[in-house]
A and B are shown apart, each in its own frame.
Chain A
């Protein structure tokens, strides 16, 4: 099982505890989480299902490369962090 963790800043707006999922890609992992928590989807993805412009997903410490379709693979035991794309300031 992979684990999906959301930034604490998001928990102020919508409940999003860490969740264990059985998935092969980032898209599948998030889809499982959103299926039981549909309001969360719009906070992470835009109207077209792409990662919001100022959001970032890390898989085992590496940023994903496919922000449009979220096709980046994950492994059993992977840790996904859904974060704000902060760049200082």
Chain B
């Protein structure tokens, strides 16, 4: 079993395997706001993204599994053109300044290289384990970027990064709100891959526009990398043809709304979701926390609830709050501060903690 890193509103907590599951063992940055953590399987480094509010966003790295941490560079935008007020698609003023680190992933085409997605929408790359960062100009200056808008926040952000197992220079990123963008040349050129999705919150002319798609989470199957799963603002989508086309799954359990999706790296037909009443409420349907699972590519969904709270529960699971370990263990954490884990693919869940601060992200140490 693998250690679990839980990023919360008030610290980064480490859960270690026990005889029957996991238990919280220690905390780092206790009192500080963590948007996410990332473990680089190449060198074992742990990365932590902190959001200090008044003092801005900072990145830290540990090379000894959390025993010591050092602040590294934060992705920073280049000078904004003087005298020009920039706005996003909705007309809100957009300042070229990192307001959140919203995704972090190893760039597998070079040793020590990293990708980092931010709000207000810039993708950054580091060649030196975060000692320095460069904005990926081709995506930031793509004319369609001005069609991106804020999802739950004022400005768009890149929250999902899928490095293609067939070729590490091929990378897909997902934007809320701005669809899915893919490069095949390590960031030099980009193509929108969200055409064919459906957005029900825009005027009719834009319903199928790739830039209008509010993708909440994008994952790619490692063993069958032509399969991608998406939890979208108004539904669940799957592509089995390398994002050439998307199929919307309308019958997916108690709700089609949610934030996270996890795919089985060995089986493209198996994926897990945590549904909620859609955007106007964002709470579990009937106050009952469930996980939905498909094992047939979305034709049917199991509703899994064993071990999960079934009455007066209002847990919301954010897009980075659900993870699968290399050994198949699953875990998710919620805004209520609950963390649950399953060692049998979601059939049964056990409490890891009921007392954490609001959980923003869960990941496993490889």
Contacts and interface: CB of A to CB of B under 8 A. Distances in A.
Contacts of A46: 56, 95, 97
A43 B56 contact: yes
A75 interface: no
A52 B56 contact: yes
A47 B97 contact: yes
Nearest to A83: B54
Contact of A13 (B52, B76, B79, B96): B52
B237 to A, nearest CB: 34
Size class of the A contact interface (CB-based, 8 Å): 10 to 19
Interface SS, B side: loop
Given A13-B55, A85-B54, A47 B71 contact: no
B97 A43 contact: no
Contacts of B76: 42, 47
A48 B54 contact: no
Nearest to B122: A47
Interface in A53-89: 54-55, 84-85
B97 A42 contact: no
A39 B58 CA distance: 10
B80 interface: yes
A31 to B, nearest CB: 16
Interface string A19-49: 0000000000000000000010011101110
A48 B95 contact: yes
Most buried by A among B55, B71, B74: B55
B53 interface: yes
Contacts of B54: 9, 52, 54-55, 84-85
A42 B56 contact: yes
Nearest to A45: B56
A44 B71 CA distance: 16
Interface in B47-62: 52-56, 58
A10 interface: yes
B190 interface: no
Contact of A47 (B53, B55, B58, B96): B96
Nearest to A43: B55
A44 B52 CA distance: 11
A39 B56 contact: no
Contacts of B55: 10, 13, 43-44, 52, 55
B98 interface: yes
A82 to B, nearest CB: 11
A9 B53 CA distance: 12
A54 B57 CA distance: 13
B77 interface: yes
Given A13-B52, A42-B76, A48 B96 contact: yes
A17 to B, nearest CB: 17
A39 B55 CA distance: 12
Nearest to A39: B71
Interface in A1-16: 9-10, 13
Contacts of A85: 54
Nearest to B75: A47
A9 B32 CA distance: 12
A47 B74 CA distance: 10
15 contacts: A10-B55, A13-B52, A42-B58, A43-B52, A43-B55, A43-B56, A46-B56, A46-B97, A47-B77, A47-B95, A47-B98, A54-B53, A55-B54, A84-B54, A85-B54
Given A46-B97, A48-B97, A55-B55, 19 more contacts: A9-B54, A10-B55, A13-B52, A13-B55, A13-B58, A39-B71, A42-B58, A43-B52, A43-B55, A44-B55, A47-B95, A47-B96, A47-B97, A48-B95, A52-B55, A52-B56, A54-B53, A54-B54, A55-B54
